Amino acid sequence: MDTPLHLLIATDSESSADALLAELRRAGYAPDGTRVEDEDGLRNALASGSIELVLADAALTDPSPLRLLSVLEEHAWDGPVIVLAQESDEALVVAALHAGAGDYLTWGRLARLGSAVGRELRAAHGRRRREEAERARKEAEERYQALVDEIPALTYISWADPFGSPVYVSPQIKTLTGYTPAEWLADRESWVRSIHPEDRERVVAELTRCREQGQPFSCEYRTVTREGRVTWWRDDGRFLTDGDGRPQFLRGLIVDVTERKQADETIRRLMYYDALTGLPNRSLLLERLQKELAESRTLGRALALLLLDLDHFRQVNNTLGSENGDRVIQEVARRLSDAVGGADQVARLRGDEFALLLPGGDATLGRQVAARLLKALAQPVMIHRLPVEVGASIGIAVAPDHGEEGETLLRRVDLAMQAAKRAGESPVVYSSACDPYDPHRLVVLGELRRAIESDQLVLHYQPKVDLKDGKVLGAEALVRWRHPKQGIVPPDRFIGLAEQGGLIKALTGWVLDRAVADCRSWELEGRTLSVAVNLSARNLQDPQLADHIAALLESRGLPPGRLELELTESAVLADPRRAAETLERLDDSGVALAIDDFGTGYSSLAYLRKLPVSQLKIDKSFVMAMSNNHEDSMIVRSTADLGHNLGLTVVAEGVEDKPTWDMLGQFGCDAAQGYYMARPMPGAELSAWLRDH
């Protein structure tokens, strides 16, 4: 089959054209030729067709072969041109070859035309292929560059050194950091320095680890832009090694993930925070509890968990409506957070239940914090100018004493909180006594009830001595249980149980009865002493207490001023309104009132001033150590001063040695109690002690 060939023959000689066509046919082509004999013809032919080859007669003068070549170039035609010349046209031929013609033939050797055309076509084909390849390569390169320049990611190459000193960065560095690539590359610490100070150490350590272990570097961290904006980067890089296999460069890609991080944060807020108060919710508390428990186990330290539940909140909701109920919850949340000095610490578990974790805290710290929380709720919440009282009950459980698992701890802190509700006094630290289903508790409760009825309880008395002249002013009644099997049981082991088990009214009744009777008998012996009795929170909420005491004093014939009642700050704060009412009535009847264990709670003296108390008993925990603890002695001294300024008598408990006794005298304290003077003793021994004193 002959090869088709579209060609253009520039000659003004028809016979020459025919000769060329005939020769091509002979060489195996099927030529389809257009003959042009002037420049216009040439231009028309070029415009109209797909010409593969041009044969130019050197004899043509318009256009001349040189002119023809320049017209072809003008039309960006890049096929082969063969010039046909006479032997004598040598100079012209050389010029034409310089100007881009591919080959030339003399008319006399036309037989070579076929092979010349074949060679020229192949060469042109090869040239075109190379050009095409080159163009494709260029295009690809441009597309890639555009990609690198335009994708919202930064590509970089840096040295595998501790600074990640930059070698190359793509132009996105400008959008990402505000620095141009040139500025970025000028400083070998630009990367390290742009990392957020809080993340820097972690990121550099991770980079070093990956380099040393030959692993890809993959890290998310915060950076600070030139304008000081904080953004999140995700950085993925691989190390390129040198000839010896040592990491030399890090090549990687950085994507700005700030938006994703913000979305994560929103989701986190929804999952872990309470919408009404903005406080951490139950899920977050549980997560933290697990984490802190693990940490406490490793460090061998304690962990306290507090659970606070508002009292009568349902009533608030029912009377004021749930919208106002929500307001109360918000105000409570705010006060509790303020009280512990951190917005993120108190969690709202559900409804009116709040919780607080104290890593490293024991029961003592738990009690102190609980007192602070209760104090924060002592003032009523104002709703539409209406004061709403919000008392609360608090339970405390401590790991590892009350459980090492989160579940156990949560169950037990709940039991402690419920026990606090029943007792009407907070906080209650978990003990088996809190568990209503603990069979042991029921047995002990039954025993205690019988003990009260059958006079198994006894009172010991500890004298209270005047610091100025050493005169005995009175005695404090401290109850003990003479258990048939266990012997003498101290009050700390059963008072809590009596409060929670509904026996405290009977117990206090028994103690009052006996103490008043004993005091009266001292009087009959000729000793004018007062007697002090301790009250529980529940007693203060008993509306009959004041009447009962008045009747008792009357029937025994003891002047009311001879009886002192001791109550703790937390007992008052458990239900401040009702406590205040009871205290007013007791005061009216002439009984003296004292604040016991002062300093362990958080009530201010200003608050106490509103109560009709006449005596302040500084807690023994400050007094016991004050002779060799400067801080404690300062607390005792300033408490004494403040107490006096409020017109109160100041008594120090827990005086164990002479230096303490002397110091208290210098501080101006009025009276003291403690092992140094006398331990609590049975009533019968007191008379003998008083004689010898």
Residue 624 CB, shortest distance to ligand C2E, in Å, is: 6
Q: Which does 536 bind (CB under 5 to 8 A by kind): ligand C2E, Mg ion, none?
A: ligand C2E
Residue 573 CB, shortest distance to Mg ion, in Å, is: 16
CA distances from 690 to 463, 515, 521, 527, 528 (A): 9, 17, 14, 9, 12
Residue 662 CB, shortest distance to ligand C2E, in Å, is: 15
Residue 192 corresponds to which tokens in the numbers above?
């390290």
Q: Which does 52 bind (CB under 5 to 8 A by kind): ligand C2E, Mg ion, none?
A: none
φ, ψ of residue 63 in degrees (nearest 5): -85, 150
Burial of 508 (0-12, 13-18, 19+ CB in 10 A): buried
Binding residues among 451-470 for ligand C2E as defined by CB under 6 A: 462
CA-wise closest residue to 636 among 607, 627, 470: 627
Q: Residue 498: which region, alpha, beta or left (left: phi > 0; alpha: psi -120 to 50)?
A: alpha
Contacts of 113 (CB under 8 A, 6+ apart): 20, 23, 24, 27, 82, 105
CA-wise closest residue to 565 among 22, 577, 575, 542: 542
Name which of 478 and 671 has its Cβ closer to ligand C2E. Answer: 478
Neighbouring C-alpha atoms within 13 Å toward the C-beta of 568? 17
Residue 521 CB, shortest distance to ligand C2E, in Å, is: 18
Residue 380 corresponds to which tokens in the numbers above?
């009523």
Residue 402 CB, shortest distance to ligand C2E, in Å, is: 21
Among 325, 501, 674, 683, binds ligand C2E (CB under 6 A): 674
φ, ψ of residue 593 in degrees (nearest 5): -120, 140
Cα(538)–Cα(425) distance, integer angstroms: 7
Question: Taken in order 252, 257, 258, 264, is the CA torsion positive or negative?
Answer: negative
Task: Give the chain's length.
Answer: 693
Name which of 299 and 488 has its Cβ closer to ligand C2E. Answer: 488
By CB under 5 A, name the binding residues for Mg ion: 534, 566, 596-597, 653
User: Which one of 307-315, 516-524, 580-588, 670-678 is the stretch in contact with ligand C2E (CB under 6 A)?
Assistant: 670-678
The H or E element containing residue 153 is strand 153-159
Among 663, 680, 683, 686, binds ligand C2E (CB under 6 A): 680
Count of residues near ligand C2E by CB under 6 A: 25
Among 244, 323, 469, 492, binds ligand C2E (CB under 6 A): 492
Name which of 352 and 566 has its Cβ closer to Mg ion. Answer: 566
Does 362 sit near ligand C2E (CB under 6 A)? no
Count the Cβ atoms, other than its own, within 10 Å of residue 212.
9
Q: Which does 252 bind (CB under 5 to 8 A by kind): ligand C2E, Mg ion, none?
A: none
Among 633, 673, 683, 686, binds ligand C2E (CB under 6 A): 673
Cα(4)–Cα(300) distance, integer angstroms: 96
Q: Which does 583 bind (CB under 5 to 8 A by kind): Mg ion, ligand C2E, none?
A: none
Residue 595 CB, shortest distance to Mg ion, in Å, is: 10
Question: Taken in order 509, 515, 516, 518, is the CA torsion positive or negative?
Answer: positive
**Beta bridge mates, 457:** 481
Name which of 310 and 511 has its Cβ closer to Mg ion. Answer: 511
Cα(43)–Cα(8) distance, integer angstroms: 11
Name which of 216 and 490 has its Cβ closer to ligand C2E. Answer: 490
Residue 44 DSSP symbol? H
User: Which one of 36-44, 331-339, 354-362, 491-499 is the stretch in contact with ligand C2E (CB under 6 A)?
Assistant: 491-499
Does 675 sit near ligand C2E (CB under 6 A)? yes
Binding residues among 377-436 for ligand C2E as defined by CB under 6 A: none
Does 34 sit near ligand C2E (CB under 6 A)? no
CA distances from 326 to 47, 322, 335, 381, 388 (A): 86, 6, 14, 12, 13
User: Which one of 114-122, 301-309, 632-640, 650-658 is the stretch in contact with ligand C2E (CB under 6 A)?
Assistant: 650-658
Among 620, 661, 672, 683, binds ligand C2E (CB under 6 A): 620
Binding residues among 525-554 for ligand C2E as defined by CB under 6 A: 534-536
Does 685 sit near ligand C2E (CB under 6 A)? no
Q: Which does 675 bind (CB under 5 to 8 A by kind): Mg ion, ligand C2E, none?
A: ligand C2E
Count the Cβ atoms, other than its own, within 10 Å of residue 189.
12
Residue 527 CB, shortest distance to ligand C2E, in Å, is: 21
Among 491, 509, 612, 668, binds ligand C2E (CB under 6 A): 491
Q: Which does 495 bind (CB under 5 to 8 A by kind): Mg ion, ligand C2E, none?
A: ligand C2E
Cα(169)–Cα(235) distance, integer angstroms: 13
Does 654 sit near ligand C2E (CB under 6 A)? yes
Q: Which does 478 bind (CB under 5 to 8 A by kind): Mg ion, ligand C2E, none?
A: ligand C2E
CB-CB contact of 375 with 603 (8 Å): yes
Q: Which does 674 bind (CB under 5 to 8 A by kind): ligand C2E, Mg ion, none?
A: ligand C2E
Q: 């076509």: which residue's tokens? A: 121
Instruction: List residues binding ligand C2E (CB under 6 A).
Output: 462, 478-479, 490-492, 495, 508, 511, 534-536, 566, 596-597, 620, 624, 653-656, 673-675, 680
